[in-house]
Amino acid sequence: MASSSPSSSSAVKRLSNLSNHLCPTNSNPLVKVSAQVSQALSTGLPVVALESTIISHGMPYPQNLETAKEVEAIVRDNGAVPATIAILDGEPCIGLNLEQLERLARMGKSAQKTARRDIAYVVATKRNGATTVSATMFFAAMVGIPLFVTGGIGGVHRHGEHTMDISSDLTELGRTPVAVVSAGVKSILDIPRTLEYLETQGVCVAAYKTNEFPAFFTETSGCKVPCRLDSPEECARLIDANRKLNLGNGVLIAVPIAKEYSASGSLIESAIQQALTEAREKNITGNAETPFLLARVNEITGGASLASNIALVKNNAAIGAKISVALAQLLK
């Protein structure tokens, strides 16, 4: 992992000494931003948004807490300020402290999986919500965070041409100007149709140091990308151009999982097919389907898919932080 610039790292370390109490930094009184994130945004330091569904629904406690802390540390080590986003007791929080991270991790699936459609309900009823890609993008854009790192985005589900089960992540990318760094689309989904839908939404899809769109657990999907980027600086220039042109949509930067963690494509596909069959037999649909499929694939592969999931999230965090640093330098 490459080290960040001395000036950026020292600035982030100074921020880490600040009290992490929540304070408003935008015009919306319902949303609270941590002191670290607030100061970073006001001084032009790089900030990386992080989702919280991966904490509550992605893996068990305490592995989820350790992973969340490690991902935030990787962002800091590469010169940026992490901003994990969640809704706690009806209050959208941009940037969580350790106590809040642990609380969310212990909640697990009792925290509501919160996409854009669910935000108003979770806030109005003062519930706890773990934000998905769409909700995290929404809040990041609201406070001015230009980049968001996740594991993999949602997409068009297999047989989506019959069920119309299409993740709101895709429409969010079509209307919210936040760049998303991910390992592509979860391979439990229909990747070709997902890419077609993103094209319809006008979303620029780029792959990092490859010409092929990655498939989350594996480096390749068989689908070519229209745009290849080979450095954090190239990624930053694309994001900057997209924002300055006021295109109004996001950018998807797909980073392939590292070779040493890439699972066997045939092994994963076999596990996915078994999990899909079980989901249909149990009539598991909607936002419950993806967590079920990922959990079953992990069980079938003996934990190999979860290890790959954690590895790719960490890799995305390192690359996303470097892109954020390059973007901050470009804007200065």
Report which DSSP code applies to 4.
P
The kind and range of the H/E element at 93 are strand 91-94
Cα distance between residue 247 and residue 243, in whole Å: 7
CB count, 10 Å around CB of 177?
19
Alpha-carbon 248 to chain mean position: 19
The kind and range of the H/E element at 180 are strand 179-182
Six-digit token string for 11 = 């600035």
The kind and range of the H/E element at 65 are helix 63-77
Pairing of strands 22-23, 81-88: unpaired
Pairing of strands 81-88, 129-131: antiparallel
Active site residue 99: no
CB count, 10 Å around CB of 246?
7
List the catalytic residue out of 51, 72, 102, 234: 51
Q: What sections of 144-264 are H helices per DSSP?
A: 160-163, 168-175, 191-200, 232-244
Phi, psi for 276 (deg, rounded to 5): -65, -40
Q: What is the CA radius of gyration of the chain?
A: 18
Length of the chain: 332
Distance (Å) of CA 217 to CA 88, 156, 166, 198, 294: 31, 17, 20, 20, 11
Q: Do residues 308 and 261 make contact, with C-beta atoms less than 8 angstroms apart?
A: yes
Report which DSSP code applies to 117.
G
List the catalytic residue out of 186, 289, 314, 322: 186
Active site residue 51: yes
Q: Which residue numbers are catalytic?
A: 51, 186
